[in-house]
Amino acid sequence: MKRFKIAIIDDYQKVAMTYGDWSYIQDHTDITVFSEYIGGEDRLIELLAPFDIICIMRERTLITESLVANLPNLQLIISTGPRNAAINLEAVKARGIEIANTGYVDSGAPELAWTLLMSIARHIPQENAALKNGKWQTTVGADLKGKTIGIIGLGNIGSRIAIIAKAFEMEVISWSPGLSTEEAALKGVRAVNKAELFSTADFVSIHMVLSESSKGIIKLKDMELMKPGAFLINTSRGPLINEADLIKILSERKIAGAALDVFDQEPLPANHPFRTLENVLATPHIGYVTNNTYQVFFEDTRNAILNWLLNRIPS
Q: Catalytic amino acids? A: 237, 266, 285
Q: Which of 65, 54, 53 is nearest to 94 (CA)?
A: 65
Task: Say how far apart CA 241 and CA 253 lie, in whole Å.
Answer: 17
Write the DSSP symbol of residue 199.
H
Phi, then psi, of 288 in degrees rounded to 5: -105, 5
Which of 213, 236, 251 has the alpha carbon at shortest distance from 151?
Answer: 236
Based on its alpha-carbon atoms, the radius of gyration of the chain, rounded to whole angstroms, reads 22
* Secondary structure E strands in the chain: 4-9, 29-34, 53-56, 76-79, 98-101, 148-152, 171-175, 190-191, 203-206, 231-234, 257-260, 280-282
